[in-house]
Chains A and B, each alone.
Chain A
Amino acid sequence: MNAQASQHPPVDNLGSPLPEAVGHVSQGRFERVLRQGHFVVTSEIAPPDSADADQVYERAALFDGVCDAINATDGSGANCHMSSVAVCALLSHVGYSPILQISCRDKNRIAIQGDVLGAAAMGVCNVLALSGDDVSAGDHPEAKPVFDLDSISLLTTIRTMRDESRFLSGRKLDKAPKVFAGSTINPFVPPIENRVRQLQKKVAAGAEFIQTQYCFDLPVLRDMMRRSVDMGLTEKAFILAGVGTLASANTARWLRTNVPGVHIPDELIQRLEGAENQKAEGQKICVELMQQCKEIEGISGVHVMAYRQEKYVAEMVRQSGVLDGRQVWAPGY
């Protein structure tokens, strides 16, 4: 190891893996905190365009003390970055509880199953199944899109490996990957009526937690959550509402036109426009959204997406008070 490696945070015994617990599928802290009934906060790291591990740790450190788990995106927006498996391995190594995002865009079922095993071997306890953005959205539009599986087939695959200790082919695993399985939903895009059925399908396929797309339109979210509760879905899966901060009215407009699936109501854009300090107003909105989501029946936590505004996440979470003063694990704590 060279001198650089010594800058990494010290390995902390309070991190993952935790001792096995009855009724828990993983040995990760994320599942533990959820099953203890706490309101959880997660956020996400944009993996660096770099081979430098310290950049990963620097980005993770921004969430110290406020995030129960950190998503590592998998080539989000179809742009190339450090792999999510590597980011999660680095984070697990020092005790963080990362969520491994797996997109179906870049890998077939052979590669994905290998990644799930490898990640679990390196201490990763949570996996999030995504279909993924199309290659045309990113910086390598000439790449061949794979899409061998879709998110629901991927969930089935993960659950087969974990619960039946075998590959899809039937070949036995010596040790099954004990990962907590999740996926995403977007309650705000057509066919809105059927989005709750899509959630039901994901839960049936084995999702134990769900992180939603940005929730800026709470009436729509409340309606979907009411139906989810009625259908008993929130007893089978923990739902985390996606919240975000908008840097300005222009950013909001850009997001909703250019990023697939982002729905931002006009009133919100007007509120930003009317504010003296749009950036501060965007953060205030985010804080309010967190507080309001916490009041919605069936919501177990929030997932804060603050691309390029990660440094404000900790302050916003503290201001919102959604952690109820709970001390969240951080390296060295």
Chain B
Amino acid sequence: MYQLRRFATRHARAYEMVYNASSPIILATLTVFNKLFGSKLDAPVTWFEKQVKGALFDCKMCGNCVLSSTGMTCPMNCPKTIRNGPCGGVRANGNCEVKPEMKCVWVDAWSGSQKMKHAQEIELIQFAPNHQHKGSSAWIRLAKEGGTNRATKSVSKAEV
């Protein structure tokens, strides 16, 4: 869903608002689910997250979601899965060095982020994802850990 993904980047501000408004609701619901049913609903929730975020953002279910700090652009679509991009190989037309027909994910991410209220979040260092989380639901993890969806949590020590 390349077109939808790029639409999200162009309308990053609106997506951010929807995302910020819906995230607490989703997380609260999942927290309740977790209390009531334990892990029984994990599989359907994961399936649901995959469908929604897959359609909207080409989400790859890395399980370490950083969408809100990467201009609503999923960095796992970068062929090098760079989490702090772009790399130095971006083509003059802004397309990817590896996939010449695709806009560089990070060119989109930067332009998306500049439209967002929390524009400076893209400047935070995102350490490489935890591979054990691949394929699992980022929502459930956040609900269970009682975390927020803001990326500030993953700022590395080196930044301080």
Contacts and interface: CB of A to CB of B under 8 A. Distances in A.
Contacts of B156: 156, 205
B123 A131 contact: no
Nearest to A158: B158
Contacts of B82: 131, 147, 150-151
Interface in A124-155: 131-134, 136-137, 145, 147-153, 155
Contacts of B88: 131, 184-186, 189, 213, 260-261
A263 interface: yes
Interface residues of B, number: 34
Given A153-B128, A156-B125, A189 B92 contact: yes
A200 interface: yes
Nearest to A181: B158
Interface in B71-125: 79-94, 97-98, 104, 106-107, 110-111, 122-123, 125
B94 A197 contact: no
Contacts of B97: 133-134, 260-261
A134 B81 CA distance: 11
Most A CB within 10 A of own CB, among B83, B127, B157: B127
B145 interface: no
A137 B79 CA distance: 13
B90 A149 contact: no
User: Contact residue range for chain A?
Assistant: 35 or more
B131 interface: yes
A191 B123 contact: no
A320 interface: no
Given A136-B98, A194-B110, A205-B159, A152 B125 contact: yes
Interface in B141-160: 156-159
A204 interface: yes
Given A156-B127, A191-B94, 20 more contacts: A104-B80, A131-B80, A131-B82, A131-B87, A133-B89, A134-B79, A137-B98, A150-B80, A150-B83, A150-B84, A151-B87, A159-B158, A186-B88, A186-B90, A190-B92, A197-B122, A205-B159, A206-B158, A260-B88, A260-B90
Interface of B: 79-94, 97-98, 104, 106-107, 110-111, 122-123, 125-128, 131, 156-159
